[in-house]
Amino acid sequence: MEDSAIIDLYFARSEEAIKETATKYGKMLKSVSLRILRSIEDAEEALSDTYMKTWNSIPPTRPNILSAFLTKIIRNVSLDKLDAMHADKRGAGMIPAILDELEECIADNRLPVPGEGMELREILNSFLESEKPESRKIFVRRYFFGSDIKEIAEFYGIGESKVKMSLARSRERLKVCLEEEGVTV
Amino acid sequence: MKTDKNKLFRAIGEIDEKYISEILEEDASGMNVIKSFDAAKAATNSKKKASGAKKFFAYYLPAVAGLLVCAVIVKAFMTSSDNAATSAPTAAADSAAPASYEEAASDSSMQTNSVEVYNESETAEEADIQMAEATSDNYGLTDSDKYETLGVTELANPFIDCESLEEACEISGIELNIPDDFSFGFDRIYRAMDGRMIEVIFMEGDEEVYRIRKGLTSELGTDISGDYNEYSVSTNIDSANYAATLSGNEEDKTSLAVWNDDTYSYSVTFEEPVPTVSAIGIIDMIMAQ
């Protein structure tokens, strides 16, 4: 079913909307959650919460890209779960590793204060826009989707060292962006 | 400090949807993923690969192709007594120097399988349109399949590895003729995409030599090769029971062949370019009734 038709079902308050969403995007969404939670049971729970949040969000929201809209929701839901479980260790090392990498981007280990200068989201979008497609995709795979280095390397048919190098350079450029645009405290 | 890195990680979750969509679309094509893995492997093995496979295609396959052409001509000779004296020598000459299949086809007065060759430049626009269609429909994968490739464990592979050709045929629901004369000494990997495609990869040791795909056009589109290279030379082959496009970067050498019939799309991709006559021989055997 086309995304627009699924969204119309949500607007019509038809429960078929959730069924169609699950059919079309269920596996993809679950995989996003699994990368964060590393537990099938938790991922399935996050998936159910995602359907509920989507049901509550549409309407009034009419997503431009339904798949990306859903992906953002399940990522946030999964991170909420991780926080709730105080589950750094349950992340099998993945999320802590990613967080440690991201820490390199933060000048004095601090982020800009919201409301001063550009919002963090705007800085990130500006940074991504300035990145070359290859390095941008590697960055998004790693830090949005939580893919591991090996998985990214295999996907693009390149070496793990090249992925690491690309990520390191992207982090360095992001750090510069954050320093230029943000206000450190 | 931990709060800040968490905050950054959270904020990345709010990036513009186009950057997320970019990845989802990239993942959408299972073929893409598979080709990436193949490309990685091919890159690793490219230096080693040249020797055996090249020799095979440079010497053995043209010879076999020549013999096949001879066989067809002899058959034609036996059914048509008119040209008995001239057909065989022509075929013999072609088998010795198979650089020009066009000549072989035109000289050999084959009545049952006449082949017409013409330049791709006349249909370049059509080819571009086909390529655009293939790209836009993600090489024919359905939406549900696209996202199956995103699964943690299913990331790479919408194919099912099979023990035998029979098993692959059963899973895919598609029969495939194997060009036995062009697979001498090669190991084979059989794979199937449930109800939609069958694939056979011919290997020399750990190195791929060529692969054949046959899939439902209605499900997968007209180009199922997964080969995104741009080739400088394309040739259309019209025979009695198929019309194929052969592509490569040298005259009379083929890296990719794609064609369709009423129901199925076919492709043959070669890791190293092969003489066009060999590629045509493979297609002939795949399409043999």
Lowest average pLDDT, out of A57-66, A83-92, A117-126, A168-177, goes to: A83-92
pLDDT number for residue B260: 93
Q: Please give the helix or strand (H or E) that residue B46 lies within, else none.
A: helix B30-55
- Mean of the pLDDT values across residues A154-179? 87
pLDDT number for residue B265: 94
Secondary structure of residue B247 in the 3-state scheme: strand
Which stretches in chain B have pLDDT values below 70? 1-3, 28-157, 183-184, 289
CA distances from A176 to A136, A168, A169, B45, B279 (A): 16, 13, 11, 40, 54
The residue assigned the tokens 């590393």 is A38
Query: Does the A93-181 domain belong in CATH 1.10.10.10?
Result: yes
Q: Look at B36 and A23 and tell me if their CB atoms are within 8 Å.
A: no
Strand order in the sheet with B116-119: B116-119, B233-238, B243-248, B253-260, B264-275, B207-216, B197-204, B187-193, B160-162
The residue assigned the tokens 């996907």 is A155
Sequence-distant (6+) residues with CB within 8 A of A176 are none
Reply yes or no on whether the pLDDT at A29 is more than 60: yes
CB atoms under 10 Å from CB of B74, counted, come to 14
CB atoms under 10 Å from CB of B4, counted, come to 18
Phi and psi for B2 in degrees, rounded to 5? -60, -35
Question: Hey, of A111, A123, A134, A167, which one would you mutate to test binding to chain B, going by the most B CBs within 10 A of its CB?
Answer: A111
CA Rg, chain A, in Å? Answer: 18
Task: Name the nearest CA neighbour of B190 among B158, B166, B207.
Answer: B166
Alpha-carbon distance of A94 to B275, in angstroms, equals 49
Q: Look at B155 and A155 and tell me if their CB atoms are within 8 Å.
A: yes
pTM of the model: 0.44
Cis bond upstream, residue B89 (ω within 30): no
Q: Look at B150 and A27 and tell me if their CB atoms are within 8 Å.
A: yes
Q: Could you tell me where the DSSP H helices lie in chain A? A: 3-11, 16-37, 40-57, 66-84, 94-103, 120-130, 133-143, 149-156, 160-181
Burial A153-182 (b: 16+ CB within 10 A, else e): bbbbbbeeeebbebbeebbebbbebbeebb
Q: Which residues of B touch A155 (CB under 8 A)?
A: 33, 36, 155-156
Q: Find residue B268's DSSP bridge partners.
A: B212, B257
CB-CB: which of B15, B22, B23 is closest to A124?
Answer: B15
CB atoms under 10 Å from CB of B160, counted, come to 14
Q: How far is B169 from chain A (nearest CA, A)?
A: 27
pLDDT number for residue A46: 92
- Mean of the pLDDT values across residues A136-155? 89
Quickly name the fold that domain A3-90 has.
Rna Polymerase Sigma Factor; Chain: A (1.10.1740)
pLDDT number for residue B11: 85
Q: Residue length, chain B?
A: 289
Alpha-carbon distance of A18 to A140, in angstroms, equals 27
* Residues 44-73 (A) with a CB less than 8 A from some CB of B: 63-65, 67-69, 71-72
- A125 reaches B (C-beta below 8 A): yes
Q: Which residues of A touch B37 (CB under 8 A)?
A: 154, 157
Q: Look at B143 and A24 and tell me if their CB atoms are within 8 Å.
A: yes
> Per the structure block, which two tokens stand in for B200?
């056979």
CA distances from A112 to B2, B27, B52 (A): 15, 33, 60
- A156 reaches B (C-beta below 8 A): yes
Return the domain boundaries, chain A: 3-90, 93-181
Q: Look at A31 and B17 and tell me if their CB atoms are within 8 Å.
A: no
**pLDDT digits 0-9 by tens, B205-242:** 778 889 999 999 988 888 888 877 778 888 888 888 88
Task: Name the nearest CA neighbour of B69 among B226, B270, B281.
Answer: B281
- A37 reaches B (C-beta below 8 A): no
**Summary mean pLDDT of chain A:** 83
Reply yes or no on whether the pLDDT at A93 is more than 50: no
C-alpha of A11 from chain center: 26
pLDDT number for residue B278: 84
pLDDT number for residue A153: 87
Return the domain boundaries, chain B: 16-286
Reply yes or no on whether the pLDDT at A41 is more than 80: yes
Q: Is the distance from CB of B143 to CB of B30 less than 8 angstroms?
A: no
Reply yes or no on whether the pLDDT at A120 is more than 90: no
> Per the structure block, which two tokens stand in for B142?
């359905």
Secondary structure of residue B117 in the 3-state scheme: strand
Q: How far is B14 from chain A (nearest CA, A)?
A: 6
- A75 reaches B (C-beta below 8 A): yes
Q: How far is B26 from chain A (nearest CA, A)?
A: 9
